Amino acid sequence: MMDFAHWLPIVWAVILIAAITIYVILDGFDLGIGMLFALERDRGRRDVMVNTIAPVWDGNETWMVLGGAVLYGVFPGAYATLLPAFYLPIVLMLLALIFRGVSFEFRVMTRGTAREALWDTGFMAGSGIAAFCQGAILGGVVQGVSVTDGAFSGGPLDWLTPFSVFCGISVTCGYALLGATWLVWRTTGTLEASCRRWARRLAAGLFVGIVAVSLWTPLLHAPYLRRWTDWPNIAFVAPVPVLVVVLGLLLAASLRKGHTRVPFLCALGWFFLCLSGLGITVWPYAVPPSLTLWNVSSPPSSQFFQLIGTAILLPIILTYTIYSYRVFRGKVTEADGYH
């Protein structure tokens, strides 16, 4: 029993980080595409951009619902402290996601009326604001939350610091990069060429962001620095900067050479590295700097019951998700006779 109570939270932390990573990558390119509306004004090309994700965005967003639900069921102590702590950015993010989500349908259904521009703007601004809030919340978690007696005890704007704002901007830039490289893969012609151009600049921006956040994070709390330099963690941490640079060079080269799929995969690689680095940094805290995974866990009877279902259902979910991506694979183009 003792062992159970020790291991279950670890297993769940890994599943949760995996779910967050999948969400960030999948909805990352959705939100990125929304933001790229700011750079692409042509309606036909905007339609192509939206149509590369229209059949899959709902499934992508569901990973975020899963993240929330798992936190609620498995780590209720974390759910109950983090959500009040980030009350304002969370509400703002949810409202932004409302605009983003309905705009898929509304922007076409209002075509030719005065309100068409509202929903194009809603799509763009909703995506950008949601991305920024997600980055700021992530940064806010890393920098820590004040907790007394297991409940949030800080003020409503505690999360708002230069560090969290910088994280927000970096994530925004990163999502736009994911979106641009996704479009390089899935579109043709003028749009693809523009995306290659944008992707290069965004990659430079994200690279600066990654470097800055990596240097800044260990300055936030002494334990973070120790976590990175302790054995055996250092064996995992040390190669990360090298990999980041290698992926960056590969990304730049593949964009130049006209590869279609490699740039997207490189961008994914960056996100994967950053999120695993983040996991290693805050481990074993669920709410840094005071509550560990075990402090916030629900009882083993809950975690175990949920684990059984997850072990059975997650592979099934992944299977039909891949199926639905395959149905809509291939380059998307503007329709014949569109002009």
Partner 1 sequence: MQNAHDIALLLARFQFAFTVGVHIIFPAFSIGLAAYLAVLEGAWLATGRQVFLDLYRYWIKAFSIVFGMGVVSGLVMAYEFGTNWSVFSKKAGPITGVLLSYEVMTAFFLEAGFLGVMLFGMNKVGRGLHFAATCCVSVGTLISMTWILASNSWMQTPRGYRIDPATGQFLPDDWLAIIFNPSFPFRLVHMGLAAFLSVAFAVGATGAWHMLRARRAGAIAGEPVRVMFSMAMWMAAIVAPVQILAGDAHGLNTLKYQPVKIAAMEGDWETEGRAPELLFGIPNMRTEHTDYAVKIPLLGSLILTHSLDGKVPGMKDFPRDQRPPSPVIFFSFRIMVALGVLMMLVGLWSLWHRRNSTLFTSPVFHIVALCMAPAGFIALLCGWVTTEVGRQPWTVYGLLRTSDSAAPVILSSMAVSMTAFVVVYVIVFGSGLGILVRLLARAPQEGEPDTAPTRASDMLATRVHPAVVTFSSGKGA
Determine the residue type at 232: P
DSSP string, 229-249: HSTTHHHHHTHHHHHHHHHHH
| Distance of closest approach, residue 270 Cβ to partner 1, in angstroms | 26
User: Which of 40, 61, 120, 334 lies at the binding interface for ligand HEM (CB under 6 A)?
Assistant: 61
Give CA–CA dist 54/252, Å, rounded: 28
| Piece of 3-11, 150-158, 174-182, 216-224 that binds partner 1 (CB under 8 A) | 150-158
With CA atoms as reference, report the closest residue to 214 among 238, 230, 250, 180: 238
The sign of the torsion formed by the CA atoms of 136, 141, 142, 143 equals positive
Q: Does 40 bind ligand HEM (CB under 6 A)?
A: no
CA distances from 79 to 73, 252, 310 (A): 9, 39, 19
Match 């890994």 to its residue by tokens: 14
Q: Does 286 bind partner 1 (CB under 8 A)?
A: no
| Distance of closest approach, residue 134 Cβ to partner 1, in angstroms | 12
DSSP strands (E only) in 64-212: 147-148, 151-152
Q: 126 vs 139, which CB is nearer to ligand HEM?
A: 126
User: Which of 10, 108, 117, 211 lies at the binding interface for partner 1 (CB under 8 A)?
Assistant: 108
Q: Does 294 bind partner 1 (CB under 8 A)?
A: no
Which positions from 4 through 63 interact with partner 1, judged by CB under 8 A? 44, 47-48, 50-51, 54-56, 58-59, 61-62
Size of the site for ligand HEM (CB under 6 A): 4
Q: 152 vs 185, which CB is nearer to partner 1?
A: 152
Give CA–CA dist 313/308, Å, rounded: 9
Q: Does 65 bind ligand HEM (CB under 6 A)?
A: yes
Q: Does 279 bind partner 1 (CB under 8 A)?
A: no
Q: Return residues touching ligand HEM (CB under 6 A).
A: 58, 61-62, 65
